[in-house]
Structure 1
Amino acid sequence: MALSGKLIGYVEISKKGDVFHDLFRHNPHEIVAIAPNKVHDCELHDGERGAVGSIISWHYTHEGKRKICKQIIEAVNEENHMAVFKVIGGDIVEELYKSLTIILHVEQKGDGQVATWTFEFEKPNVSVPYPTSMMDYLCDLVKDLDAQGSTNNYNQKFMALCGKLIGHVEVSKKGDIYNLIRYNPNDIAVISSDKVHGCDLHDGDRGTVGSVISWHYTHEGKKKISKQIIEAANDENHLIVFKVIGGDLVDELYKTFTITLNVDKKGDKEVATWTFEFEKPDTSVPYPTSLMDYLCDLVKDLDTYNNTK
């Protein structure tokens, strides 16, 4: 399963980016006044309020418990309304993650504004959950702040419906994983028969952009199908993009779902990276963390097989 990764959540807002940027950087006491049930204080330990290098502690309630999150502001971009907070103490890193960095970015998207939360995390072991609950908490907090003084009506407790989940897996051979998945998917059914049972080709040539395929696989104890079109591929960069157009994922769960695989060198290591871009129809639909673990485990199976050849 993925121990390191990235989770991204998007929230549509009505206020301009500088408002949120100022709230989280310079005026956190106003957040306490607007959402006292969620945020109780933001202490300044070192440096000037909102400055790069300053150290702060948020006191907040999450999942019914009072918690503390000590952070250092690592980077700020006034023009792009972006701030980077590295967690250096408190419940999150002392009890759960080896490392966690939180990025807030507000930008124009079409006719509106979008607040984007990005979590870059490393888990100590596979039993630690993905930080999806914290993502929902912060997206919900943004909606509380946006609703203050706004005429907009929100008909549900808002959590991120659109998002991105990224998982990294270290592998030993660069091209083999990519080539198996793009050009020889039915070999995967032989290598990892408990997970993958076949890959039908419906249209086009195997592995080409525009070709349509269906994966037959078992996930969470159930046999499933995922019909996909290959939207993009790059042999040089070992990158392939699958848009899900049918099957259990989009028929039963998500409004849209795109899967990208990229195998690349990072430092002295080869890393396979899965990226999911998704849209949920409502907040009851879970984040696709189980599928991420499934695909990361599949990559490990393939990599182990490659090393025995």
Structure 2
Amino acid sequence: MAISGKISVEFEIQVPATKYFNILTKEFHNIQNICERVHGANLHQGDDWHCTDSVKQWTCLIDGKVITCKEKIEAIDEEKKSLSYKLFDGDVGENYKVFNMSVQLSETNNECALVKWSIEYEKINEDAKTPYAYLEFLEKGTKEVADHLLKA
């Protein structure tokens, strides 16, 4: 069994890439009000939800279990519409030495976007699960936000 690896999922949403990227970079604090799987989020450290210096505390429902973790934005690339995050502490820290997520958005046409989420991980030990449930959480959450944007 692999201790470290990288997994990803790619899918299309019916929202322009720029509009969805704006949620991630300018309105991330609202995700907890949009996604039913996000039970709570707060700014743990820093003054701004949308910068690389801040740390957020999350409580989410993943694979039927309420988990907690902290998250920090590692990099934002406006031009490429990509973000990378580091997750740590809480349930994530109990199972993974390294847990990095990234999202890449690209336009498929003026009304749709291709979304690619990736997770790079290193397990604490072989008993920790490969984080497929986290990938499923990201895909379902992305689609839920996209549906919300379509109604707005």
Question: What TM bracket, shorter-length normalisation?
Answer: 0.7 to 0.9
SS of 1:255 mapped into structure 2 = strand
Identical pairs, percent: 25
Describe the superposition over 1:48-79 as per-residue Cα deviations: whole angstroms up to 9, x where unpaired.
Answer: xxxxxxxxxxxxxxxxxxxxxxxxxxxxxxxx
Partner of 1:288: 131
Do the aligned partners of 2:95 and 2:125 also contact (CA within 8 Å) in 1?
A: no
Partner of 1:221: 64
Partner of 1:308: 151
- Structure 1 alignment gaps of length 5 or more: 1-158
Structure 1 residue identity aligned to 2:85: F
Instruction: Give 1:248 shift.
Output: 0.9
State the distance in 1 between where 2:102 and 2:84 align: 4
Partner of 1:124: none
Alpha carbons of 1:182 and 1:226: their partners in 2 closer, same or farther (altered >3 Å)?
farther
Partner of 2:84: 241
Instruction: Give 1:270 shift.
Output: 1.6
Instruction: Give 1:220 shift.
Output: 2.5
Describe the superposition over 1:62-107 as per-residue Cα deviations: whole angstroms up to 9, x where unpaired.
Answer: xxxxxxxxxxxxxxxxxxxxxxxxxxxxxxxxxxxxxxxxxxxxxx
State the distance in 1 between where 2:3 and 2:133 align: 17
Partner of 1:199: 41
Do the aligned partners of 2:76 and 2:84 also contact (CA within 8 Å) in 1?
A: yes
Q: Does 1:259 align with 2:101?
A: yes
Partner of 1:138: none
TM-score for both structures, normalised by structure 1: 0.45
Structure 1 residue identity aligned to 2:41: C
Instruction: Give 1:267 shift.
Output: 7.6
Instruction: Give 1:184 shift.
Output: 1.7
TM-score for both structures, normalised by structure 2: 0.87
Instruction: Give 1:301 shift.
Output: 0.6
Q: Does 1:167 align with 2:18?
A: no
Structure 2 residue identity aligned to 1:164: K
Instruction: Give 1:230 shift.
Output: 1.2
State the distance in 2 between where 1:227 and 1:182 align: 17
Instruction: Give 1:277 shift.
Output: 0.5
SS of 2:39 mapped into structure 1 = strand
State the distance in 2 between where 1:297 and 1:290 align: 10
Larger of the two Rg values belongs to structure = 1
RMSD: 1.9
SS of 1:188 mapped into structure 2 = helix
Runs of 4+ in 1 over 3 A off after TM superposition: 266-269
Aligned residues: 149
Structure 2 residue identity aligned to 1:257: F
State the distance in 1 between where 2:29 and 2:75 align: 20
- Structure 2 alignment gaps of length 5 or more: none
Structure 1 residue identity aligned to 2:12: E
Q: Does 1:183 align with 2:46?
A: no
